[in-house]
Amino acid sequence: MPYILIQVTKEGVTTAQKQQLIRGATDLLVNVLDKEPATTFVVIDEVETDNWGVAGESVSVIRQKYLQSLDQ
């Protein structure tokens, strides 16, 4: 019973895109590991950009700095 967790920042991922992720991840496990689709679980976790960080800063701060650099 495979469990796949996909984490993305919460920035407008559409229902159609989520469905594509679910289908694609399921198909991958079916094709590569011969798993049953009926017992393959896919969870999409949308994380606020304030709660996702890299290189010591949140994505929100990184994006804000990037936008400010474009204005200069």
Domain containing 64 — which CATH number? 3.30.429.10
Stated pTM of the model: 0.83
Q: Per the residue annotation, which of 1, 2, 45, 48 is the catalytic one?
A: 2
State the pLDDT at residue 59.
95
Taking a C-beta distance cutoff of 8 angstroms, is the pair 9, 46 a contact?
A: yes
Separation between Cα atoms, residue 60 and residue 55, nearest integer Å: 13
37 is catalytic: no
pLDDT in tens, 23-67: 999 999 999 999 999 999 999 999 999 999 999 999 999 999 999
pLDDT (mean) for 15-28: 98
Q: Phi and psi dihedrals of 7, rounded to 5?
A: -110, 130
Q: Which residues partner with 3 through β-bridges?
A: 41
Quote the pLDDT of residue 68.
Answer: 92
Q: Which residue has the tokens 């949140």?
A: 58
Domain holding 28, by residue range, is 1-69
Number of structural domains the chain divides into? 1
Token representation of residue 48:
């606020």
